[in-house]
A and B are shown apart, each in its own frame.
Chain A
Amino acid sequence: MAHETHSKTLPADLSAPAVVDTWKTRALIVGVIFAVIAVILGFLGQGQDGLGWNHLLRGWLLGLTLTFGFAVGGLAMLMVQYCSGGKWGLLLRRPLEAMSRTLPLVFLFWIPIAIWQGKLYMWANHGIVDKALSLGQITQEQVTAIDHYIHFKAPMLNPVSFIWVNLICFAIWGWYTWRLNSLGLKRDADSAGNTPYWIKKFENISGIGIVIYSVTMTVAVIYWVMSLDVTWYSSVYGLLFLVGQGYQVLAFSILIALSLSQFEPIKTLLRQTEQHDLGKFTFAWVMLNIYIAFGQFLIIWSGNLPEEINWYLDRIRGGWGIIITLDFIFHWLIPFTLLLSRDLKRNKKRLIRVCQWMIFAKAFDLFWLIEPSFKDASRNLHFSWGILEYIAVPVAMLSFWVVYFAIQLKSRPVVQTNDPHLAEILEPEHAHA
């Protein structure tokens, strides 16, 4: 008997299914509702403790970091895919491209932070230090230490450098986004004979791109998040965010690919093998994420130096112990135990649930990183209307980001066709009766 092949053929229409428009509409509604809630909470918080608008800005910072993770992290994952190759890329490339093209929106999100640096960063506005001292939130000794660090780090941490360095970073990410996205279309328009040339070309751009991304991304998160506590530093900080971006980007892009797979053309393309592979890949990121997060903690805990340990004490004592415990459970324990299961990784619905959970867990982790940096909240977890801004503002921002993402996803076919793996992914899995 001859060995029969049952290769599938790709549908003629490769454009994104109509469901993307539904996502867009829904996200828009959610975004508007939560934006209104954020404003109301701002007024409530302002009346309660005078920190309402300040909390709104902190929530905004969380939203910026999260959407930045999707946009620039998506770009980085795209570059990793071009370097590594593999059939999973066919499912994710176009969603990742669309994520990278949301950079202009992230830039818009960045502008308020640049304008109101003085509300967030001690190095931008010494009034924050003075106010904390007058309220008894910090001691004179701490002020001396803070002033020392502000002075020492001034060449990097000052309002002018903040804006220029960030603009340069955005320009670099923008260039890579434009380059990879425009070449992506050119590659598809080209004949199959030129594929090896394109593979090499993308490899060459992406290889250096990953290195440059790692450096610029580290700089950005040092400015945005780490410098909230001007006294503290950690050399693994950039890597921590880099891995965190891999974590959230993979969760989001799997979510998109699996949701698209209910409709053509991804329906034809998605096989259980690649879904399983993506699940395993996600599992690796979950593991690496806790490895680095715990590694940083273990080293600082072992050293027990007064310059470093306070950053953790700010985030453990005064009720924050509950948050860090929940963070550990949400961020690692739950995805880890669930993703251990082979059946779950091969089940679309359940894998989607895990991915949604991971995006929530990432936001929760950012809350734990950001809020205790402020002296009114460090070692003092307490409820205020303002703290709810950490839900309202990021949800609104993420929803508007999804709207923009959906527009970008719609603008191109959802499958790259000029790829040698395409024939393979259309073949049946293993043997078939």
Chain B
Amino acid sequence: MPPREGIYGLLAEFDTPSDLVRAAQKSYQDGWRRLDCYTPYPVEEAAEAIGFHRNKVPLITLIGGLMGLTAMFLLETWISTLAYPINAAGRPTYSWPAFVVPAYEWTILWAGLSACYGMFALCGLPEPYHPLFNAPNFRTGATDDKFFLCLEALDPKFDLMETRAFLETLEPVSIVEVEY
């Protein structure tokens, strides 16, 4: 893919989470759909404001957990009944109570790993380059004490002059044009 050029979007900076949420709600109501919020800590209301209600991490975690459970239980069943059937104190080779603990551990392990890597994958990570880091205030503020709203150029509503005028009505601290 050739490198993209031009404008990635317009980045508005806010001082408080409340201002950001208010601005995000207004943008969403105005019809914006290609937009995103950036905050130094999770602000769930910001995610809700831009119409982002659900993600698939819980489902991936559940599937991962069930896979771990099944895999270990079957592995133990196979080992104990087919591969190495050992007489342990006269118990049946298929002694399921003994299989529960490792199966439970693998449920947790797989669920945990699925949650972690599923979240990475859904976030599009690893991502070595992101155009927003071209904005100097974003670089210093996004992980510190600033709250950002980015209206992206991919949105059909995007127009450099009109969008800037719209963002100004939201009274941000600053508006930065972000290049790819």
**Which residues on A are within 8 Å of B, measured CB to CB?**
1, 3-4, 294, 297-298, 301-302, 304, 340, 342, 430-433
Contact = CB atoms under 8 A, between A and B. Distances in A.
Nearest to B42: A430
Given A1-B171, A294-B100, A298-B97, A431 B15 contact: no
Nearest to A5: B18
A430 B16 contact: no
B58 A342 contact: yes
Give me the 3 closest cross-chain CB pairs, A-B, nearest first: A431-B17, A3-B16, A433-B22
Contact of B18 (A294, A298, A301, A433): A433
A339 B76 CA distance: 29
B52 to A, nearest CB: 15
Interface in B25-52: 25, 43-46, 49
Given A1-B16, A1-B19, A3-B18, 4 more contacts: A294-B100, A298-B100, A298-B101, A342-B58
Given A294-B100, A301-B97, A431 B171 contact: no
Contacts of A4: 18
Interface string B7-28: 0000000011111111001000
Contacts of B123: none
B32 to A, nearest CB: 16
B173 to A, nearest CB: 10
Contact of A431 (B46, B97, B101): B46
A297 B22 CA distance: 55
A160 B156 CA distance: 86
Nearest to A431: B17
A342 B59 CA distance: 12
A304 B89 contact: yes
Nearest to B65: A340
23 contacts: A1-B15, A1-B19, A1-B171, A3-B16, A3-B19, A4-B18, A294-B100, A298-B100, A298-B101, A302-B97, A304-B89, A340-B62, A430-B17, A430-B43, A430-B45, A431-B17, A431-B43, A431-B45, A432-B21, A432-B45, A433-B21, A433-B25, A433-B49
Interface string B121-162: 000000000000000000000000000000000000000000
Contacts of B20: 431
Contacts of B22: 433
A297 B97 contact: yes
A251 to B, nearest CB: 24
Contacts of A304: 89, 91
A3 B17 CA distance: 9
A339 to B, nearest CB: 13
A194 to B, nearest CB: 34
A3 B21 CA distance: 12
Contacts of A301: 97
Contacts of A3: 15-16, 18-19
B65 to A, nearest CB: 10
A260 to B, nearest CB: 26
Contacts of A297: 97
Contacts of A432: 18, 21, 45
A75 to B, nearest CB: 33
Contacts of A302: 97-98
A1 B58 CA distance: 37
A305 to B, nearest CB: 11
A119 B62 CA distance: 50
A307 to B, nearest CB: 16
